Amino acid sequence: MSKEKIALFTIFGGTGDLAQRKLYPSLFKLYQKGYLREHFAVIGTARRPWTDEHYHEVIATSLASLNADPAAVTQFASHFYYQSHDVTDAQHYVTLKKLSAKLDAQYGLQGNRIFYLAMAPNFFGTIAQHLRSEQILTTNGFNRVIIEKPFGHDFASAKELNDQLTATFNENQIYRIDHYLGKEMIQNISAIRFGNSIWEALWNNRYISNVQVTLSEKLGVEERAVYYDNSGALRDMVQNHIMQIISLLTMDQPVEFTEHDIDVEKVKALRSLRTLKPEEVPANFVRGQYAATDQVKDYRSEDKISPDSNTDTFVAGKLMVDNYRWSGVPFYIRTGKRLADKFTRIDIVFKRPIVNIFNHEDVQKNDDENSRLNANVLTINVEPTEGFELRMNAKHVGQGFATTPVKLNFALDSQSVSDSPEAYERLLHDVLNGDATNFTHWDEVAYSWKFVDTIQKYWDEHTPTFPNYQPGSMGPTAADDLLQRDGHEWIYKS
């Protein structure tokens, strides 16, 4: 059976950074793999008055790093059409409708439509409303809309946005992108948990001491300063990516591995998160902003950032999940810009054995002040290495019976990494298949915002002392204190 998918993509924001850096290369990969062949077309729209010819050049440039066969690139680009369009102008949707109908007939697209809103979220409502009022949605095929992050600024704005979208689209037509859900090792969380009896048996508060999720970035705010300064790390990374990871780590086993059943379990997990009272925020969440070094500017001196900005470029926090499985287990999270390195990892720290029968003099060198054995740690390396690591205690080689920590390691080889689809490619493929498993659903978004809003509100009402961490570090020392107060420490230290 052919794996070819049939659809017309309409990309709002077709001249933008996301389209050029992520969407066109991903569509090309799908084309190279045969998921897109003859029966697809792409309309790129934005205000710039580009011609189709110029658009084809832009497509070719965006694929340059793939070193693809030039003939294939030309053939692929021939499926792309550009329409200059201001999304607030109703008249342009009439032209868009005509072009869509023409391309549908030309490429045999069977009324299948995918609308990608790669634009600022304040336009999403207008676009959705016009797609309905100008009757651009089809009745003979599928209509799917892909929404970029950020999905709102807080719960209230997210709800307003959702109401606007659901006036045109059903929930099962809406694909809210969280690109972390397209990453190989994030998808692997479910495989590890539900595909291995050893882990599922231990995946609870009887055996797990704490869990640590780190999304660390080396770069600063870069080109997206205007957006970032209005957002900050809590909204940019925690509300979406980190909350999704937490829900995948904490959810119960879905009845079946389907979009619906996974959503049910994720929502239960997110509902079980302990909501902080305002006065509990400072003891549980730490914010930071990077200072300057000889090599890099401080955040407040970055281009387009206000010199008195109190935006958080770092967050660390402690989350508690109040249910039977997780009661008493802290989930520590941290993310930030200008940290020691670029990596994402999850450390599952198991409880240490209660008794150390190897407890004699030569053992104590390897042990802590209580002479107890080290904790087992399962590390899920999401990026740049993709794999798992298990830290265990083994006998130290030689005389006596000292123990020493050893690591069992699995990392995807370079061939598997290069064969593994990039997150956007994977997620676009899912949309073509009508599979929203790896997208966020409204109820998940709503609970995540409600959790984050309490923290943000407290922060907005209290002025921080910024800057408070050095570029190249792992954030402010308060992020270490957060764990030390509980008798824990970060497994990854810079």
Would you name the residues annotated as active-site residues? 241
Count of residues near ligand LXAUTJHC by CB under 6 A: 4
What binding mask, one character per residue, do residues 5-44 give for ligand NDP by CB under 6 A, x or -? Answer: --------xxxxxx--------------------------
Which positions ≥6 away from 277 have C-beta within 8 Å? 454
Identify the residue whose tokens are 């950032």: 305
- Identify any residues that bridge with 391 across adjacent strands, giving them in sequence order: 377, 407
What track of x and - describes contact with ligand LXAUTJHC for positions 170 through 199 (by CB under 6 A)? ---------x--------------------
Residue with tokens 């205690």: 393
Among 3, 4, 34, 47, binds ligand NDP (CB under 6 A): 47
What is the smallest separation between the CB atom of 269 and ligand LXAUTJHC, expressed in angstroms? 21
Residue closer to ligand LXAUTJHC (CB basis): 124 or 350? 124
444 touches ligand LXAUTJHC by CB under 6 A: no
182 binds ligand NDP (CB under 6 A): no
236, interface contact from ligand NDP, ligand LXAUTJHC, none, CB < 5-8 Å by kind:
ligand LXAUTJHC
Range in contact with ligand NDP (rule: CB under 6 A) among 112-120, 191-199, 256-264, 423-431:
112-120
How far, CA to CA in Å, does 37 sit from each of 4, 167, 314? Answer: 6, 33, 44
Q: Which of 104, 184, 236, 425 binds ligand LXAUTJHC (CB under 6 A)?
A: 236
Q: What is residue 10's three-state secondary structure?
A: strand
Alpha helices for 275-359 (secondary structure H): 281-284
CA distances from 194 to 189, 295, 447, 455 (A): 9, 46, 24, 32
CA distance 239 to 319: 13
Q: Does residue 47 have a known ligand-binding role?
A: yes
- The dihedral over CA atoms of 283, 285, 291, 297, expressed in degrees to the nearest 10, equals -170
| 263 touches ligand LXAUTJHC (CB under 6 A) | no
User: Does the protein bind ligand LXAUTJHC through residue 386 (CB under 6 A)?
Assistant: no
183 annotated to a ligand binding site? yes
Do the Cβ atoms of 290 and 471 come closer than 8 Å?
yes
- Binding residues for ligand NDP restricted to 139-178, rule: CB under 6 A: 148-150
Q: How far is CA 249 from CA 175, 309, 375, in A?
A: 22, 34, 19
Question: What is the per-residue DSSP string for 80-101?
Answer: EEEEE--TT-HHHHHHHHHHHH
Nearer to ligand LXAUTJHC, 79 or 287 (CB): 287
Q: Which of 104, 184, 217, 347 binds ligand LXAUTJHC (CB under 6 A)?
A: 217
Residue ranges in contact with ligand LXAUTJHC by CB under 6 A: 179, 217, 236, 344
